[in-house]
């Protein structure tokens, strides 16, 4: 009996907590979605959520699953919001639709000829969606898409998309197209219904692609790169500058760690940051995903503690996980290697 | 405590944790043009008890080399005493200091992004740091909300 009371109280408290949180779809959208999709759903990246043709072919279930699962490896993160909060966001997004009712689709799988679908895909879809459904270049991975295109073709092989979209929904998009985007409808192309079913089956077959190919994550536990220096502080700083230059970076400046936080001259003289940049790499990184700026500029901190001198840097490989962007992986991996090379060179 | 009760409590606590946690980046869109959003950010940082240490002009650096770029800066900020104490006690945190926010133009809007300080608890598991990271996260959320709401 006592246990039942405890369970009841916990349930009551949970319900109270969630009720108190009172999900406001607009507020939740502004906090979680607007940065990428625009305040009014007009889109920064991804399909414009206000687009009538999107609203007409995206079910509430699709929106819910998309928010919950995100798009692994393609900027949109999986959400840990509660179901009630996600429902509130979906309701808010649905408010932009001109239709009074959201579409709903059966979940019954569509049977088609995958091989024939593959041939159709190669001729009809691959130009925009990529040969393996990987999406148009830059899809979902940059805010800076060309402005002459309203959207870029999404990655159909993404596990998040495949889990969110039912076969019937994909078929509806193929049949109706998406007005206002380059996605035209197939019915106008004298496509038989069977062809469309074959295409749906081929798209569904992307589920067999191993996830590490469509949503790769770099594995490392080390958040900080640290290397002891056999030299004194001043020599190590000088060595880091030279090593950065010899590794194709431009030296930017050297500052004490507390620079700007305390009055000039009062910074701890044992802690220095050496800033450097490879502008070609920087430009490429920002074009891939401008969010990487929060780890810019490249820097190695040189500190002296208890008579020992150390060089330290963030580990870009470890940080790559937080961006949920597979296209950044190679750059992060490369940057980790370069930091280590600079530290190594500075100790020679 | 019987199994059913333990399971119920675990599930309920999991549910609460899921409500409280979120993504690994904090990112907002301000409807203000870049210069005004930048000013709002610096004001919000100061009003939250932090000091803006410096601003890294990523855009100027790129332009000088010949690349075409829109406004893009990184704002470094912190609290002097707190930073000094952390550096002494937890030197492995040094590469993550001072804290920063990247701010860049996105058409007529401005986007602000930074890593969620709570994520640092995965890297640095000391209990004292966990509390600190949560405090940073609350402050950062307030700062970003102020910029987002600024008109």
Span A166-190, pLDDT tens digits: 999 999 999 988 888 888 887 655 5
- Residue A144's pLDDT is 54
Contact flag A3-B1 (C-beta cutoff 8 Å): yes
> With contacts defined as CB-CB under 8 Å, which chain A residues touch B21?
80
Q: Which H or E run contains A44?
A: none
Q: Which H or E run contains B113?
A: strand B109-115
Q: Which H or E run contains A17?
A: helix A2-21
Q: Which residue has the tokens 């770029």?
A: B69
> With contacts defined as CB-CB under 8 Å, which chain A residues touch B65?
279
Cβ B8 vs Cβ B68: under 8 Å: no
Contact flag B72-A277 (C-beta cutoff 8 Å): no
Interface test with A, best of B94, B101, B140 (most A CBs within 10 A): B94
- Residue B11's pLDDT is 43
| The CATH number of domain B23-149 is 3.40.50.300 | no
CA distance A243 to B138: 39
pTM of structure: 0.82
Contacts of B61 (CB under 8 A, 6+ apart): A252, A277, A279, A282, A297
Domain ranges of chain B: 23-149
Q: Is 60 exceeded by the pLDDT of residue B32?
A: yes
Cβ atoms within 10 Å of A323's Cβ, excluding its own: 25
CA-nearest residue to B89 within chain A is: A305
Contact flag B61-A36 (C-beta cutoff 8 Å): no
Each residue of A286-320: b (16+ CB within 10 Å) or e?
bebbbbbbbbbbbbbbbbbeeeebbbbbbbbbbbb
Domain ranges of chain A: 2-213, 224-346
| ipTM score of complex | 0.82
- Residue A20's pLDDT is 53
Cβ atoms within 10 Å of A134's Cβ, excluding its own: 22
Contact flag B5-A7 (C-beta cutoff 8 Å): yes
- Of A92, A73, A219, the C-alpha closest to A155 is A73
Q: SS3 for B56?
A: strand
Q: Is 50 exceeded by the pLDDT of residue B12?
A: no
Cβ A81 vs Cβ A21: under 8 Å: no
B34-93 residue pLDDT tens: 999 999 999 999 999 999 999 999 988 888 888 888 899 999 999 999 999 999 999 999
Beta-strand relationship, A308-314 and A298-305: antiparallel
- Positive or negative, the CA dihedral A239, B54, B134, B114 is negative
- Residue A152's pLDDT is 74
- CB contact B90 to A (< 8 Å): no
Contact flag B23-A224 (C-beta cutoff 8 Å): no
Q: Select from A11, A77, A279 the Cβ nearest to the Cβ of B67.
A: A279
Contacts of B9 (CB under 8 A, 6+ apart): A6, A7, A10
CATH classification number, A2-213, choose in 3.40.50.2000, 1.10.760.10, 3.40.50.80, 2.30.29.30: 1.10.760.10
The CATH code that applies to domain A224-346 is: 3.30.310.70
The mean pLDDT of chain B is: 85
Q: Mutual orientation of helices A83-94 and A60-69 as an angle, nearest 10°? A: 130
Distance from CA of A123 to the nearest CA of B (A): 35
Rounded to the nearest 5°, which phi and psi values hold at A181? -130, 170
- Of A329, A338, A319, A312, the C-alpha closest to A257 is A312
Report chain A (348 residues): mean pLDDT per 10 consecutive residues: 57 52 85 87 79 92 95 87 95 83 92 95 91 75 54 87 96 90 74 88 92 71 93 98 97 95 94 95 85 88 95 93 86 94 96
Distance from CA of A248 to the nearest CA of B (A): 14
CA distance A39 to A33: 8
Q: Select from B58, B84, B100 the Cβ nearest to the Cβ of A268.
A: B84
CB pairs under 8 A between A and B: 171
Interface test with A, best of B9, B23, B30 (most A CBs within 10 A): B23
Q: Is 80 exceeded by the pLDDT of residue B9?
A: no
> With contacts defined as CB-CB under 8 Å, which chain A residues touch B111?
35, 44, 143, 290
* Cβ-based burial of A64 (10 A; exposed 0-12, middle 13-18, buried ≥19): middle
Q: Select from B21, B62, B124 the Cβ nearest to the Cβ of A282.
A: B62
């Amino acid at each position: 009996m006592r246990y039942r009371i405890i369970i009841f109280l916990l349930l009551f408290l949970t319900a109270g907590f969630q009720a108190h949180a009172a999900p406001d779809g607009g507020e939740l959208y502004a906090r979680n979605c607007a940065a990428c999709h625009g305040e009014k759903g007009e889109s920064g990246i991804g399909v414009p959520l206000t687009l009538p043709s999107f609203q007409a072919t995206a079910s509430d279930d699709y929106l819910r699953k998309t928010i919950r699962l995100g798009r692994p490896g393609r900027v949109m993160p999986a959400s840990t919001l509660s179901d009630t909060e996600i429902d509130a966001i979906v309701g808010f997004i649905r408010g932009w639709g001109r239709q009074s009712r959201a579409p709903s689709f059966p979940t019954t799988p569509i049977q088609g000829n995958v091989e024939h679908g593959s041939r159709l895909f190669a001729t009809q879809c691959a130009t925009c969606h990529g040969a393996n459904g990987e999406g148009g270049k830059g899809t979902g991975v940059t805010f800076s898409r060309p402005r002459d295109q309203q959207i870029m073709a999404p990655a159909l092989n993404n596990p998040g998309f495949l889990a969110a979209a039912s076969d019937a929904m994909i078929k509806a998009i193929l049949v109706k197209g998406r007005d206002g985007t380059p996605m035209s409808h197939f019915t106008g192309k004298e496509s038989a219904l069977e062809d469309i079913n074959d295409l749906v089956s081929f798209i569904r077959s992307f589920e067999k692609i191993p996830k590490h190919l469509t949503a790769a994550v770099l594995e490392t536990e080390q958040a900080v790169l640290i290397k002891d220096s056999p030299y004194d502080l001043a020599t190590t700083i000088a060595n880091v500058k030279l090593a950065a230059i010899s590794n194709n970076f431009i030296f930017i400046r050297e500052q004490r760690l507390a620079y700007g936080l305390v009055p000039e001259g009062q910074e701890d003289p044992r802690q220095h940051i050496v800033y450097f940049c490879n502008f070609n790499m920087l430009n490429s990184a920002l074009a891939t995903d401008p969010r990487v700026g929060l780890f810019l500029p490249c820097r190695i901190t040189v500190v002296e503690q208890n008579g020992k001198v150390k060089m330290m840097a963030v580990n870009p490989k470890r940080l790559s996980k937080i961006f949920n962007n597979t296209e950044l992986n190679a750059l992060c991996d490369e940057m980790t290697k370069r930091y280590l090379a600079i530290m190594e060179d500075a100790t020679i | 405590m019987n199994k059913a009760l333990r399971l119920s409590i675990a599930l309920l606590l999991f549910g609460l944790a899921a409500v409280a946690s979120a993504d690994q980046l904090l990112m907002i869109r301000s409807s203000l043009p870049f210069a005004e959003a930048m000013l709002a950010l610096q004001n919000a940082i100061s009003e939250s008890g932090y000091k803006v240490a410096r601003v890294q002009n990523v855009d100027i650096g790129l332009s000088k080399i010949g690349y075409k770029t829109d406004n893009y800066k990184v704002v470094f900020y912190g609290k002097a005493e707190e930073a000094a104490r952390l550096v002494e006690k937890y030197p492995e945190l040094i590469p993550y200091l001072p804290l920063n926010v990247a701010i860049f133009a996105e058409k007529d809007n401005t986007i602000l992004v930074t890593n969620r300080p709570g994520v640092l608890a995965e890297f640095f598991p000391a209990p004292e740091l966990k509390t600190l990271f949560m405090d940073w996260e609350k402050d950062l959320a307030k700062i970003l909300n102020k910029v987002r709401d600024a008109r």
